[in-house]
Amino acid sequence: MTHVEIFTDGACKGNPGPGGWGALLRKGKNEKEMSGHEPDTTNNRMEMTAVIRALNALTRPCEIDLYSDSKYVIDGITKWVAGWQKKGWVNASKKPVRNADLWHDLIEAAAPHKIEWHWVKGHNGHTENERVDRLASSAAEEAAAG
């Protein structure tokens, strides 16, 4: 299996508000940057979208080290999703899980791969996290500008 490193981030100008996402995919010395934006969204949705878009960009199953500064994404996929699935997509408060549409998309995008999920502290000098933060922030600014 091919090994890929993925770094992702999301940004929002207001929450909700115009948002952007960024991702960096690295296979050996080859790198690909990706980004995009939405006019009205939340930071959590942009964090999730970055991961989904990055995973969907892969053309075959891979071994992945995926890095995100979003506890929501990392804890969601590694700790909470299984319980939500068992409980019919309701949370501990018996309310519908927020962003269930994207959680379904993330589960599907992750399925073919072997993924190690890594949380990194944001805005802490992590080179790749700072890079994808700039991609996401620039995309959010594009969305805000219309």
What is the per-residue pLDDT for 123? 87
φ/ψ bin of 141: left (φ > 0), alpha (ψ from -120 to 50), beta (otherwise): alpha
- Other Cβ atoms within 10 Å of 129 Cβ, number: 21
Say yes or no to pLDDT of 30 above 90.
yes
What average pLDDT does the structure give for the chain? 97
For 55-98, how does the pLDDT look when each residue is reduced to its tens digit (9 = 90+)?
999 999 999 999 999 999 999 999 999 999 999 999 989 999 99
pTM of the predicted model as reported, rounded to 2 decimal places: 0.97
Give residue 8's pLDDT band: very low, low, confident or very high (50, 70, 90): very high
Catalytic residue among 19, 22, 36, 133: 133
d(CA 17, CA 40): 5
Residue with tokens 């969305």: 143
Say yes or no to pLDDT of 99 above 90.
yes
Across residues 5-22, what is the average pLDDT? 97
Please say whether the beta carbons of 32 and 55 come within 8 A.
no
Domain count, the chain: 1
Active site residue 133: yes
Please say whether the beta carbons of 53 and 132 come within 8 A.
no
Catalytic residue among 28, 88, 123, 146: 123
Q: For the CA atoms of 53, 146, 69, 113, what is the dihedral angle to 10 degrees?
A: 0
**Domain range for 70:** 2-145
Phi and psi, residue 119, nearest 5°: -90, 135
CATH of the domain at 69: 3.30.420.10
